[in-house]
Amino acid sequence: MPTLVSFTMDLTAHEGVRLAAVLHALDGGWDPADVQAGEAAAHRMLYSQLDPGQRATYRMLAAAGVIPENPGW
């Protein structure tokens, strides 16, 4: 009967190369704070026109941890 051989692979070096390639492709034109501000604005806009029933559902889902708690109302 064949014996199982332990197999491990360290992807740390590969992930470093991948991250360097992504950052190089962005070419310095990426501002994480600006991206976060845009995401927050989009989130506020998405939930700004909810009726009372929809807001109640939102609060229930937020309390359950399904969606973020602060829609920015």
Is 0.75 surpassed by the pTM of this model? Answer: no
CA atoms within 13 A on the CB side of 62: 12
What does the pLDDT read at residue 49?
87
pLDDT tens, the chain, 73 aa long: 778 888 887 778 888 889 888 888 888 777 888 888 998 888 888 888 899 999 999 999 999 999 878 766 5
Sign of the torsion formed by the C-alpha atoms of 38, 44, 45 and 47: positive
- The answer to whether 71 touches 43, Cβ cutoff 8 Å, is yes
Q: What angle do CA 52, 65, 38 make, to 5 degrees?
A: 75
pLDDT digits (tens, 9 = 90+) for 45-60: 888 889 999 999 999 9
